[in-house]
Structure formats: structure tokens, C-alpha cells
Amino acid sequence: MTNVSCPALMISAPSSHQGKTTVTAGLAHHHRRSGRRVKVFKVGPDFLDPMILEYASGNPVHQLDLWMVGEEQCRQLLFEAAADADIILVEGVMGLYDGIPSSADLAEKFNLPILAVVNASAMAQTFHAIAHGLATYRDGLSFAGVVANCVASDRHAEMLGEGGSPAIPYLGSISRDQEIALPERHLGLVQASELKDLESKLDVAAYKLLETKILDLLPAVEFAEPETTSYPRLLEGLKIGVAQDDCFSFLYPANLNLLESMGAELQSFSPLNQSVLPDVDSIYLPGGYPELHLDQLQDNLAMRRSIREHFESGRTIYAECGGMLYLLDTLTDKEGRKADMLGLIPGHAFMQSRLARLGYQEVQFPSGFVRGHTFHHSLVQPRIAVALRARHPLTGQEGEAIYRIPGIYASYLHLYFPSNPVAVAGFFLKS
């Protein structure tokens, strides 16, 4: 087998909200502006961070996850990126050692050097104790360095520059600046398409990196060629309409690639902005933010009628999370405003202020397990029976419900399609 070498770096941290996405996006933006082809990956099941990273790099951002994606598919994605890119950036998830498997597990498996980002606000020399702990907590990892984020002043930066740990190089500091802050809402960052000043934020972030030694980090990594993966052409000639707009946007690029690899022809459409569904055999309604677009979804009577006619003609619909909420009779937001949805699944959903479910889950189908995750603030009250139940892979506890009526599969789960192509094909074919 052939090995391919490419500069690569994992950006991680001691916890969430340290600035991983800002630093990764700033790096991608800088290298892209410098004429380099940048491929960025995100560890774990995330949709919102990858939108920012895709904008910064100019390329789709795939997930790397040793459980959901699997080691061999991670190897394939990295090998393909290394053969095509000038630099690979991987943004970690949560803290470096958090989760089973963790970002550290992925870094060790593929020999990825780690850049640690630490929010240094309200600390000085303790910053180096945290950095030392990250670097020495376990063997088998390579650290390219650590950078201090959210630094308050020149004097603060001077204190952080005093001392340091021999276990991890200190690469400098990034000053606190609202101009590079990425706004958040429930579920995570605001979508890239909604940030009108994203380009200027990335310009400032990239400029701030010039004040550190981070841009000098181009450690070469060798990536081994994986076994070739081929997919059955079970969807040959099938036309699938994929909802894609500010409301329905939680899509893994790997899911769309798999459908095309199995022979499907994909056509995007917008339930928000279009009045007629394309001429398709099946519909894919992904997750997103229907609760933020209640009036527009309700008032688009022509699209609602078009989707209902699609279903009534015997064609299929696959929906997950926000897509499932759109199939219900009504959806009520946190302020109590209720709107009519498609009415194809009898029942109602209600938004709440706290998280309802979070974590990996898998579903057993006749052809095997399909893996994915769940992350939502709403509660659903359907008036149909549960067809299947997901389970938590570590505990075996009961997870999300899968609802099945002729022509429809729907659940809260965001499934990773390549984990079981045969089962996934069944979501889109007539039963």
C-alpha cells in the first residue's frame, strides 16, 4: 500500500468554549488566502462548526469519528484529503480527552500533532499548568504547541509568556476581541449563512494569528492508503429531493456522497423559499431550525401542498429531527407560538429551553446497525406507534423512537449513512 504525506494539525482544547473553531477557521482562512488548498475535518457529530469551517476553507467539511464513522472510513477520508490538499486541519470535539472515543484517541490513531487552545482569561501562570497537564496526561500523543486565547492586555500576555512547560511549546497569545467572536444560539453556533460579517471576522482572526507562531506549524504526517470501499448501486436512477436552506441544513456531506455513490440523483429544494417540489421519487428532510421559521413554513401553503401530494402519490419521505417536526400537525416554539406543519404524521411538538437528548445512538435494522447521534431541545407527542427504538452503544439503554408509516421513516436521530448503506437505501425506496 502507498503512503501519502501532507502537513496536518489537530486543534484541541481542555474543554468546549476555548476558541477551537475560531482558531481552526482562522488558520483555514489564512492558508486559503495564501493560495494553499485546505481540507478541514471536524471530530464528532457536529453540523454547525463545519459550516463555519467550510466557509473558511472553501471545501466541504467531513466528520472524523472512530465510532460513528469508523476507523477505516476515517483513514480513507484522511488519505484522500492528503492526496489532494496542501494542508489538513482537524478541529477536535469538547475537551481533548472527553468522550469515548475522544479527540485524543483519533490523534493517536492517525499520528496527528495537536495544537492546544486554552482560554486564558482570569488566569496567568496556571495556564502553563493546564497546558502541561494536557501534554503529559497520557503517552502516545504529539503536541505541536499551545496558544493562549482571550488574553486581556499586553501585561496579561507578558505574564503568560513567563515560564512554560518543557512538555509543550508556548506559541503565543490571541487577544480578546468581539470582532472574532462567533455568536451562538441553542444547539450551537449561528449558521455560517446567517453571519453577514463572517468574512471580516475571519480576516481579523487570521491577522491575530500572525502575532503567534501558529502559522509556522506545518508538521508533515504520513497517511496510509486504506482498503477500497465500494457501495451497492441500490438507488440507481432514483431522484431524491434534499431540503437545503436556513431551516433544513444539518447534513453530513458523507450522507449525500453515499446516496450518489449508490446511484441516486440529488436535487436540492427549499421548503422556505420555493413553492413547488422538484419531480422526485423520494424526499430527504434533514434537521435544522424549523422553530425559527414557523410563520414562513406555515404560510408556504403551496410547498406544503406539493409535499403532501408527493406523499399521497405513494412516494417516500425520510426525515430526521427538525425534518420530523415539519411532518407533524403543529410545532410550538418556546414563546408559545404554534404553527401548522405538514400534517403527515399525526401529533405535535413543543420547544423547550433545556436540552432533551444528547449523544451517540444506533438502530438495529434487518441488515445491521445504523449509527448516528441525537441532539435536540424539543419534545414530540406523536399519535402513532413506535416502530423501532434506538439504543445507547455504551450503556445499551433505550434511545430515540423511530416512527414508520407506509412511505415515511422519521426520528430524532441524525444517522450517518455510510455506517450501513443497505439499511439506508430502504429509507428511500418504496416498501
pLDDT over 90 at 189, yes or no: no
Residues 281-326 pLDDT 10s:
999 999 999 999 999 999 999 999 999 999 999 999 999 999 999 9
Residues 13-33 pLDDT 10s:
999 999 999 999 999 999 999
Give yes or no for a cis peptide into 101 (omega within 30° of 0): yes
Residues 79-99 pLDDT 10s:
999 999 999 999 999 999 999
State phi, psi for 246 to the nearest 5 degrees: -65, -20
Domains of the chain (ranges; CATH) run 3-224 (3.40.50.300), 239-428 (3.40.50.880)
User: What is the pLDDT confidence band of residue 369, given thresholds at 50, 70 and 90?
Assistant: very high
Q: What is the pLDDT of residue 75?
A: 96
- Is the Cβ–Cβ distance between 236 and 178 less than 8 Å? no
- Is the Cβ–Cβ distance between 10 and 114 less than 8 Å? yes
As a whole number, mean pLDDT of residues 237-244 equals 98
Q: Which three cell numbers stand for residue 112?
A: 496527528
User: What is the pLDDT confidence band of residue 193, given thresholds at 50, 70 and 90?
Assistant: confident
Q: Which of 173-187, 349-363, 372-386 has the lowest mean pLDDT?
A: 173-187
Q: What is the mean pLDDT of the chain?
A: 94
pLDDT over 80 at 187, yes or no: no
- Is the Cβ–Cβ distance between 54 and 201 less than 8 Å? no
Catalytic residue among 6, 150, 247, 321: 321
Residues 61-78 pLDDT 10s:
999 999 999 999 999 999
Residues 135-175 pLDDT 10s:
999 999 999 999 999 999 999 999 998 888 899 999 999 98
Q: What is the pLDDT of residue 431?
A: 67
- Is the Cβ–Cβ distance between 147 and 173 less than 8 Å? yes
User: What is the pLDDT confidence band of residue 354, given thresholds at 50, 70 and 90?
Assistant: confident
Q: What is the pLDDT of residue 188?
A: 79
- Among left, alpha and beta (phi > 0; psi -120 to 50; other), residue 163 is left
- Is the Cβ–Cβ distance between 38 and 32 less than 8 Å? yes
Residue 150 annotated to the active site? no
